[in-house]
Structure 1
Amino acid sequence: MKKWLLSGVAVLMLSPTAAYAQNAETHTVETSPKNAFNGMSSSKITTWDKLINEVAQQMNNFSTEIKVAYSGPMADFNKNIMQVLESAQKQAIYASGHLEGVSITSDSEGNITFKVKYFTNQTQEAAVQKKVDQVLKTIIKPSMTQFQKVKAVNDYIVSNATYGNKTKASPHSAYALLMEGQAVCQGYALLAYKMLQQAGIETQYVVGYVNSSEGHAWNMVKLDGKWYHLDTTWNDPLPNRVGASSYDYFLVTDAQLKKDHSWIASDYPVATSTAYNYMQNVHFAYQINNMLYFSNTADNDKLYKLDLTNGKKTKVMDSRALYITGVGDDLYYSDYSNGGYLTKMSLKTLKTGVLVKQPVSDLMIKDNNLVYKVNAKEQKLKIN
């Protein structure tokens, strides 16, 4: 995933291709003794701090041209301009995460123009805001704990997203993920950032690497005064598997994440709490109230339940259950201890019955139907 590196008077953007190759594009600060400034300044600025605030505010509005008239100290002008851009990005995290490129021009009278390219635009961001408002009203309730809110956002993103770049909008944007259901890690992390912030969760947008050299983005969240890592991209299996999700990168520590992620640790908070380690090895989860039924990857994918009130895990049965979904007290899954057959279990009696004697996958509930695949072909089964 792309990352900004600031050096001297250059803004260096690293942006991966679909194969994660990184290509550098440089945008320089240009200064001229001539009056190259086009148009009147929209703001008159007398200090560098005020300039930072102005640029950040305009970036938050996804302005593509930011014009200011600066009349403060001129010493180390180029260096200070780059510091302004860097500081403004830290104030406008969501917008700066969408940055594609910036060029800066100025004249000897202090007129400065920032021309900004984003992976999104104001129209798309208005649509994102409207959709986020609607989604949060549905998935977030006032009585929820911070943990429940983070889980709700994670689950929504993972359930409604596919990792990829075959989108009309930029796959690096939250818009592509939210409106087209597909994006790369940048889109996942930016949407998570926006939704969590709006849900009242303190969060950070993190840029780093995976597998030593591949650019990547994820989030950190603060719960009960402690920081944790949250990687919604890696909680969504690749290649995409409908009905599949995991929590292996859900509220984890620095030590856990460092197994396959790297980042500049000094730029971010320390995450050492293991309070939510009970979410590890949880795949294909289906939740009823505070009970989570799941495939336990630590025990050969056998069916377990997790009490979210105390973190206790209990084996439900010895059968290997994948693609778990459900309606009310009925659980549906692919029984990999019995040919991958479509199986139904009553959670009240724990009695099971085979519904389809063929290997099935990608189970989901849609419009009162149990939707699944047999030999990659979609099938439907009406449920009461």
Structure 2
Amino acid sequence: MKKLLLCGAALLILSPTAVYAKQTENTSQIYPMVANSTVVNWDQLTEELAKQIQNFETDIKITYTGKIGDLKKEMMDALEKAKQQAVYASGHIESTMVSADSLGNVTYKMKYLTSQTQEVAVQKKINLILKNIIKPSMTDFQKVKAINDYIVSNTMYGTKTKASPHSAYALFFEGQAVCQGYALAAHAMLEQSGIETKYVVGFVNGNEAHAWNLVKVDGKWYHLDTTWNDPLPNRVGAASYDYFLVSDNQISKDHTWIKGNYPPATSTKYSYLLNVHFAHQLNNIVYFSNTADNDKLYKLDMTSGSKSKVLDKRALYITGTNQNLYYSDYSNGGYLTKLDLKTLKAEVLVKQPVTNLKVSDNYLMYNVQTKEHKLKIN
């Protein structure tokens, strides 16, 4: 099931209007600010405004001493350009009020989905996550995959948050958000990992407002929708790659956007990742449920992109360690099963339907109905 709930509400709030503007875009670092700055041209005003938006300032006052033409138009043009420079932060803007006096004192009153304190916490959280999942030797592809996998594996789609569910803060600290929170979080993580990225606003299934990302990998643009790579309802270990590094043609089957506002994504290099669900990677091999073959257990060689069937069994909730895979065998009642990857010998460990498998500290964690159990593994 795709993620639709409440994405539209925030994204409509974030569409630009006239003097009382409400925004869409985003960024990540927080800078020390100079209050009541004086600028001599509109380019300087735009740059200063972008810095203060990036710092999540709520009451931005700038004195403009240059030539004044159409003041209203110039102020709004500066705002739109500043948003493009401060993408992450402007993606969190809920509303903006703009005013000016005859002396050139321009004021932008901003209301954000989060606070400066929350965004400082977000930055610390991102730094910690990236330190753990991103290594200097990684390729761009590996970095994007690591970020996608982290978001999908550690969060869920939902609105039961104290913070705005449209924010990256909610996703990082409450473990759930809607599409806007997913896309903003991904944008910040990608950008800080050195990946060029765009925050995309569009629609899904015709008229449901939605947000996702474009990323540049090895010089080519691809779409990345972390929200739609995360199943609804949430299922631990159920990451998919149907919306991972896909082309315009592929994603346009159910996504629409103003294509002229974004770079084209024409490459199909990573199309071999389609139909990959419940993926678990051991070394350079990804074991997964192939949705194109009734969730049968397959493997994908990440070097060649070739897929092959491992077992003629429906395997879900796949996890593993060393030479063993663990999964729910839906060809056999959903029983917990271990597969020796060297011998391909399968062994039933629990004769009950199990879900939400994961390995933690030499234990295999799993659920029987809603109760969590654990099993010691070597």
8 Å CA contact 1:8–1:79 kept in 2: the answer is: no
Q: Matches of 1:13 and 1:60 in 2, distance apart?
A: 13
8 Å CA contact 1:248–1:282 kept in 2: the answer is: yes
| Deviation for aligned residue 1:375 | 2.3
| Aligned match for 1:347, one of 341, 348, 366 | 341
| Matched ranges for 1:1-384 at <5 A | 1=7, 2-3=11-12, 4-12=14-22, 42-384=36-378
Q: Report the secondary structure of 1:285's partner residue.
A: strand
| Deviation for aligned residue 1:213 | 1.3
| Deviation for aligned residue 1:7 | 4.1
Q: Report the secondary structure of 2:120's partner residue.
A: helix
| Deviation for aligned residue 1:228 | 0.1
Tell me which amino acid in the other structure corresponds to 2:232.
Answer: L
Q: TM-score, normalised by structure 1?
A: 0.91
| Deviation for aligned residue 1:65 | 0.9
| Deviation for aligned residue 1:130 | 1.1
Deviations 1:187-246 (A, max 9, x none): 111111111111111111111111211111100000111100000000000111122110
| Deviation for aligned residue 1:257 | 0.7
| Deviation for aligned residue 1:132 | 1.0
Q: Give the percent of matched residue pairs that are identical in Structure 1 and Structure 2.
A: 65
Which structure has more relative contact order (CA 8 Å, sep 6+)? It is 2
Tell me which amino acid in the other structure corresponds to 2:149.
Answer: D
8 Å CA contact 1:234–1:249 kept in 2: the answer is: yes
Tell me which amino acid in the other structure corresponds to 1:6.
Answer: P
Q: Matches of 2:220 and 2:35 in 1, distance apart?
A: 44
Q: Matches of 2:326 and 2:215 in 1, distance apart?
A: 33
Structure 1 unpaired stretches of 5+: 15-39
Q: Matches of 2:135 and 2:23 in 1, distance apart?
A: 39
Deviations 1:108-144 (A, max 9, x none): 1111111111111211111111111111111111111
Deviations 1:11-32 (A, max 9, x none): 2569xxxxxxxxxxxxxxxxxx
Tell me which amino acid in the other structure corresponds to 1:73.
Answer: K
Q: Matches of 1:63 and 1:348 in 2, distance apart?
A: 58
Q: Matches of 1:111 and 1:66 in 2, distance apart?
A: 10
Q: Report the secondary structure of 2:16's partner residue.
A: strand
| Deviation for aligned residue 1:378 | 2.0
2:28 aligned partner? none
Q: Matches of 1:146 and 1:109 in 2, distance apart?
A: 49
Q: Matches of 1:180 and 1:376 in 2, distance apart?
A: 20
8 Å CA contact 1:372–1:378 kept in 2: the answer is: yes
8 Å CA contact 2:165–2:176 kept in 1: the answer is: yes
C-alpha RMSD of the superposition: 1.5
Q: Matches of 1:12 and 1:150 in 2, distance apart?
A: 30
Q: Report the secondary structure of 1:259's partner residue.
A: coil
Q: Report the secondary structure of 2:303's partner residue.
A: coil
8 Å CA contact 1:254–1:272 kept in 2: the answer is: yes
Tell me which amino acid in the other structure corresponds to 1:333.
Answer: Y
| Deviation for aligned residue 1:291 | 0.6
Tell me which amino acid in the other structure corresponds to 1:382.
Answer: K
Q: Report the secondary structure of 2:232's partner residue.
A: coil
268-277 or 2-11, which moves further after superposition?
2-11
Q: Report the secondary structure of 1:104's partner residue.
A: strand
60-69 or 2-11, which moves further after superposition?
2-11
8 Å CA contact 1:302–1:317 kept in 2: the answer is: yes
246-255 or 120-129, which moves further after superposition?
120-129
Q: 1:282 to 1:98 in 2, by over 3 A?
A: same
Q: Matches of 1:346 and 1:257 in 2, distance apart?
A: 37
| Deviation for aligned residue 1:277 | 0.3
Q: TM-score, normalised by structure 2?
A: 0.92
| Deviation for aligned residue 1:369 | 2.0
Q: Matches of 2:367 and 2:35 in 1, distance apart?
A: 60
Q: Matches of 1:43 and 1:12 in 2, distance apart?
A: 23
283-292 or 357-366, which moves further after superposition?
357-366
Q: 1:41 to 1:345 in 2, by over 3 A?
A: closer
- Figure out how many residues of one structure are paired with residues of the other and give that number: 359
Tell me which amino acid in the other structure corresponds to 1:250.
Answer: F
Q: Matches of 1:12 and 1:358 in 2, distance apart?
A: 52
Q: Which runs of 4+ in 1 moved over 4 A?
A: none
Flag the structure with higher strand content.
1
